[in-house]
Amino acid sequence: MTTAPSLDITASADTRVLEATTPSSAYLDVPASKPLRLDSQRQLASYRIAYQTYGTLNGAKSNAILVAHALTGDQYVASRHPVTNKPGWWETMVGPGKPIDTDRFFVICPNVLGGCMGSTGPASINPETGKPWGLDFPVITIGDMVEAQVPLIDHLGIDQLFCVIGGSMGGMQTLAWAARHGDRVATAVPVATAAWHSSQNIAFHEVGRQAVMADPNWCGGRYLELGKEPRNGLAVARMAAHITYLSEEALHRKFGRNLQEISAKSFSFNADFQVESYLRHQGSTFVDRFDANSYLYITRAIDYFDLAAEHGDVLANAFKGTKTRFCVVSFTSDWLYPTRESREIVHALNAVAANVSFVEVESDKGHDAFLLDEPELFATIRGFLNAAATKRGLKAAGKG
Amino acid sequence: MLAPSIQQTSRVDHLLIAKMVAHGSRVLDVGCGDGALLQLLADTKDVDGRGIEVSRERVNACVARGLSVVQGDADRDLFDYPDDAFDYAILSLTIQATHQPKAVLEQLLRIGRNAIVSFPNFGHWQVRGRLLLTGRMPVTENLPEAWYVSPNAHLCTIKDFADLCKVVDARVEQAVAFNAWGRQLGTWLPLTVHNMMGEKAVFMLTRRGPA
């Protein structure tokens, strides 16, 4: 293998590179007999989808919930991460007795196509060259991510998912699932998301990509072959992006203008302020677990997402005749995917008389609120899922 | 539009609406509040129910109890729905708090094959009495707020509402008034008596088809 770690690469990056090619989670290898035709018109001859499951699939295979992860998430939604050793990214939401109750539901969380935790992406080996794909990997879309998950659902023998749920980019996948495979999605819960990526959000993504590509260690995307890592570039990209996940209020509450472990300004460019130190920490821990090229590809997929444009510029057309029951959730202080963008989704669903609930959760924590302890969010998801599950005839947890 | 806060201790209007609605039908409850009517209709009539509610807290409570409710506003959000999307479009004790009651009623008649509207009757003798005797805007058990905090922007009498029905070309299929004790007034009584004795009224309307 050409991905053998060199001395330039840190120990955790070593594990990370291994996870990209030989995941410790379950995975499905989709054979060349079922190639994936991408929105770019290119084709992936064969590909791998790494995934985690939680809970038990019932006999009727009617209790499956697909959790779609966000930009920098992965399949470890409710279990320890093999690279960081940190708990799952949505353990407050998914688990026994949690709103997405694994005593009642069977939860599937796939790593997206283009990701770096075992699903095929730019850090995987290109079978034609025996080297990491790098920038030879085709540009993918949110729709492609969804299409790549379909064989996994088939493989698990599931005709119809009880629910597809996800926040941010996970919400986009949720919408794409409902629009493309509505008959296979009984309920859909898009959280803190939008039906298209705004100009401002594309702008932020471009800043992040330029930071990665400006790092000399990026080497035109061939850093894995060359045993290098664009750590600084990716860290800066993460720092810039992280600001967009918070709110001014949350930053002020958490850090104010407080200084970091010093009593006076140092009159230098050290991280004097707590907020600087916090961002640097966010940047450096991120690069330990994420592949820089994956970051480029996935942000691009989000930029390209526009469900209305795919349907003659009328978003409602994406959901014509839908039988899926929707629960749209937004947060008051989310300026990355503000409430008005969720409202656009709700209006489109109303226009086709779809069954839709819409909740705006009051929170000052910005976009990140969907990952945090938000009792109103939990109550909403729990109530919506349980009511829909009862209607579907799924027995309550702990009964029989 | 503000959330109307009319006292809803008496649910006689809900029980009457539940009688009017056909089993298994599609219902939109505009201004659904805490979802009590939607729950009643789901439990007793097995309806496919949706709600719109302006108060975020009430919406979240409705969704947490399993009802399909969106945060929205009768004045702004009815335009999205297609024609005849519902068998019944219900506006329960809300029309008086809308900015454009006529436009809202027209929208209800467009998106519902039937529109059911209930409202507090400003022609009730207690209201007339307060105004006549005190010379001030009436504050009653049914309309408990002073004019400067009341969300009710467009109060009307039963006769006023009947006039509006003519203006928007709606056919009154059924009209019922309740007195202050929640008792239904006899339908044989003349409109003037309803307008005097009724504290709340419930109208079921349909669009007049093209002749």
Whether the predicted pLDDT of A350 surpasses 90: yes
Structure confidence at residue A12 (pLDDT):
66
Determine, for residues B67 and A387 on separate chains, whether the beta-carbon distance falls below 8 Å: yes
Residues 270-329 of A with CB under 8 A from B: 325, 327-328
Which of B48, B71, B86 has the CB atom closest to A358's CB atom?
B71
Q: How far is CA B139 from the centre of its chain?
A: 20
Which of A347, A352, A355 has the CB atom closest to B50's CB atom?
A355
Determine, for residues A383 and B66 on separate chains, whether the beta-carbon distance falls below 8 Å: yes
A376 near B CB under 8 A: yes
Question: Facing residues of B103 across strands?
Answer: none
Q: Give the number of other CB atoms < 10 A from CB of residue A293.
A: 26
DSSP character at residue B35: S
A187-221 pLDDT, tens per residue?
Answer: 999 999 999 999 999 999 999 999 999 999 999 99
Which of B69, B77, B86 has the CB atom closest to A357's CB atom?
B69
| CATH at A325 | 3.40.50.1820
**Residue A397 falls within a domain, yes or no?**
no
Determine, for residues A360 and B63 on separate chains, whether the beta-carbon distance falls below 8 Å: no
Taking contacts as CB-CB distances below 8 angstroms, the residues of chain B near A361 are: 60
* Distance between CA atoms of residues B66 and A357, nearest Å: 9
Determine, for residues B60 and A361 on separate chains, whether the beta-carbon distance falls below 8 Å: yes
DSSP character at residue B22: P
Interface mutation target, options A350, A381, A391, chain B, most CBs of B under 10 Å: A350
Segment A293-308 mean pLDDT:
98
Determine, for residues B81 and A350 on separate chains, whether the beta-carbon distance falls below 8 Å: yes
Q: Residue A61 has which token pair?
A: 């295979």
B55 near A CB under 8 A: no
| CATH at A245 | 1.10.1740.110
> What does each of the 211 residues of chain B score in pLDDT, given as a tens digit?
444 544 444 478 899 999 999 999 999 999 999 999 999 999 999 999 999 999 988 998 999 889 999 999 999 999 999 999 999 999 999 999 999 999 999 999 999 999 999 999 999 999 999 999 999 999 988 889 999 999 999 999 999 999 999 999 999 999 999 998 889 999 889 999 999 999 999 999 999 876 4
Of the candidates A25, A119, A124, A168, the residue annotated as catalytic is A168
Of the candidates A74, A144, A291, A334, the residue annotated as catalytic is A334
Determine, for residues A347 and B80 on separate chains, whether the beta-carbon distance falls below 8 Å: yes
Give alpha helix (H) positions in chain B.
12-20, 36-45, 56-64, 74-77, 101-111, 125-134, 158-167, 191-197
Give alpha helix (H) positions in chain A.
11-21, 142-155, 169-180, 199-214, 231-245, 248-254, 274-289, 292-304, 339-351, 375-392
Q: Are residues A293 and A322 in the same domain?
A: no
Range of the domain at A190: 2-199+307-391
* Distance between CA atoms of residues A157 and A153, nearest Å: 6
Q: Are residues A71 and A207 in the same domain?
A: no
Q: Are residues A132 and A226 in the same domain?
A: no
Q: Are residues A281 and A360 in the same domain?
A: no
* Contact residues for A140 (Cβ-Cβ < 8 A; gap 6+): A38, A39, A40, A113, A114, A297, A300, A301
Pairing state of beta strands A106-110 and A47-54? antiparallel
Whether the predicted pLDDT of A9 surpasses 90: no
Structure confidence at residue B182 (pLDDT):
86
In this structure, the dihedral spanned by the alpha carbons of residues A368, A372, A378 and A380, taken in order and rounded to 10 degrees, is -20
For domain B4-122+154-206, which CATH number applies: 3.40.640.10, 3.10.105.10, 3.40.50.2300, 3.40.50.150? 3.40.50.150
Determine, for residues B69 and A327 on separate chains, whether the beta-carbon distance falls below 8 Å: no
Determine, for residues B65 and A362 on separate chains, whether the beta-carbon distance falls below 8 Å: no
Taking contacts as CB-CB distances below 8 angstroms, the residues of chain A near B27 are: none
Place of tokens 């009643």: B40
Taking contacts as CB-CB distances below 8 angstroms, the residues of chain B near A376 are: 60
* Contact residues for B57 (Cβ-Cβ < 8 A; gap 6+): none
Q: Are residues A59 and A158 in the same domain?
A: yes
In b/e form, how buried is each residue of A335-352, taking b as 16+ CB within 10 angstroms? bbbbbebbbbbbbbbbbb
* Contact residues for A239 (Cβ-Cβ < 8 A; gap 6+): A279, A280, A282, A283
Q: Which among A331, A75, A292 has a CA at the least distance from the CA of A194? A: A331
Instruction: Report how many domains make up chain A.
Output: 2
Structure confidence at residue B106 (pLDDT):
97
Structure confidence at residue B211 (pLDDT):
45
Long-range pairs, A208-215, Cβ under 8 A, ≥24: A208/A236, A208/A237, A208/A238, A208/A240, A208/A241, A208/A295, A208/A299, A209/A237, A209/A295, A209/A296, A209/A299, A209/A300, A211/A236, A211/A237, A211/A240, A212/A237, A212/A292, A212/A295, A212/A296, A213/A296, A215/A292
Structure confidence at residue B8 (pLDDT):
45
**Residue A398 falls within a domain, yes or no?**
no
* Total-model pTM: 0.92
Whole-number percent of chain A with pLDDT over 90 = 91
Determine, for residues A355 and B82 on separate chains, whether the beta-carbon distance falls below 8 Å: no
**Residue A400 falls within a domain, yes or no?**
no
Place of tokens 């060259």: A129
* Distance between CA atoms of residues A348 and B47, nearest Å: 23
Q: Are residues A174 and A35 in the same domain?
A: yes
Taking contacts as CB-CB distances below 8 angstroms, the residues of chain A near B69 are: 357-358
* Contact residues for A370 (Cβ-Cβ < 8 A; gap 6+): A167, A168, A191, A192, A329, A331, A377
Name residue B164's amino acid.
L
The residue among A299, A323, A354 that closes a domain is: A299
Structure confidence at residue A6 (pLDDT):
41
ipTM confidence score: 0.86
Q: Are residues A112 and A36 in the same domain?
A: yes
Reduced to 3 states (helix: H, G, I; strand: E, B; else coil), residue A41 is coil
A387 near B CB under 8 A: yes
User: How far away is chain A from the Cα of B68, in angstroms, using its nearest Cα?
Assistant: 5
DSSP, residue by residue, A64-100:
EEEEEP-TT--S-SSS--TTT-PPPTTTTTEETTSSE
Q: Are residues A291 and A164 in the same domain?
A: no
Structure confidence at residue B210 (pLDDT):
60
Q: Are residues A86 and A195 in the same domain?
A: yes
Largest Cα–Cα distance of chain B, in whole Å?
49
Task: With cut-offs at 50, 70 and 90, classify the pLDDT of residue A289.
Answer: very high
Of the candidates A181, A197, A205, A367, the residue annotated as catalytic is A367
Residues 24-43 of B with CB under 8 A from A: 26
* Distance between CA atoms of residues A10 and A28, nearest Å: 29
Based on the residue annotation, tell me whether A333 is a catalytic residue of this protein: no
Q: Are residues A287 and A312 in the same domain?
A: no
Determine, for residues B71 and A359 on separate chains, whether the beta-carbon distance falls below 8 Å: yes
* Distance between CA atoms of residues A15 and A85, nearest Å: 11
Contact at 8 Å (CB) between A137 and A123? Answer: no
DSSP character at residue B107: H
* Distance between CA atoms of residues B109 and A103, nearest Å: 45
A362 near B CB under 8 A: yes
Q: Is A261 exposed, middle or buried (0-12, 13-18, 19+ CB in 10 A)?
A: exposed
Q: Are residues A23 and A135 in the same domain?
A: yes
Segment A61-68 mean pLDDT:
98
* Contact residues for A327 (Cβ-Cβ < 8 A; gap 6+): A187, A188, A189, A356, A357, A358, A359, A380, A381, A384, B63
Structure confidence at residue A11 (pLDDT):
60
Residues 61-80 of B with CB under 8 A from A: 62-72, 77, 80
Q: Which helix (H) or strand (E) element contains residue A268?
A: none
Which chain A residue shows the shortest CA-CA distance from B82?
A351
Which chain B residue shows the shortest CA-CA distance from A99?
B64
* Distance between CA atoms of residues B3 and B5, nearest Å: 6
Interface mutation target, options B47, B80, B86, B87, chain A, most CBs of A under 10 Å: B80
* Distance between CA atoms of residues A319 and A237, nearest Å: 35
A388 near B CB under 8 A: yes
User: How far away is chain A from the Cα of B165, in angstroms, using its nearest Cα?
Assistant: 26
* Distance between CA atoms of residues B137 and B127, nearest Å: 8
Based on the residue annotation, tell me whether A334 is a catalytic residue of this protein: yes
Taking contacts as CB-CB distances below 8 angstroms, the residues of chain A near B77 are: 347, 350
Task: With cut-offs at 50, 70 and 90, classify the pLDDT of residue A396.
Answer: confident
Q: Are residues A85 and A213 in the same domain?
A: no
Q: Which among A122, A120, A69, A136 has a CA at the least distance from the CA of A292? A: A122
Domain boundaries, chain B: 4-122+154-206
Which of B56, B72, B82 has the CB atom closest to A351's CB atom?
B82
Which of B64, B71, B81 has the CB atom closest to A353's CB atom?
B81
Q: Which helix (H) or strand (E) element contains residue B52?
A: strand B48-53
Angle, vertex CA A266, rays to CA A264 and CA A271, nearest 5: 100
* Distance between CA atoms of residues A354 and A347, nearest Å: 10
* Distance between CA atoms of residues A283 and A277, nearest Å: 10
Determine, for residues B66 and A327 on separate chains, whether the beta-carbon distance falls below 8 Å: no
**Residue A396 falls within a domain, yes or no?**
no
Taking contacts as CB-CB distances below 8 angstroms, the residues of chain A near B71 are: 358-360
A56 near B CB under 8 A: no
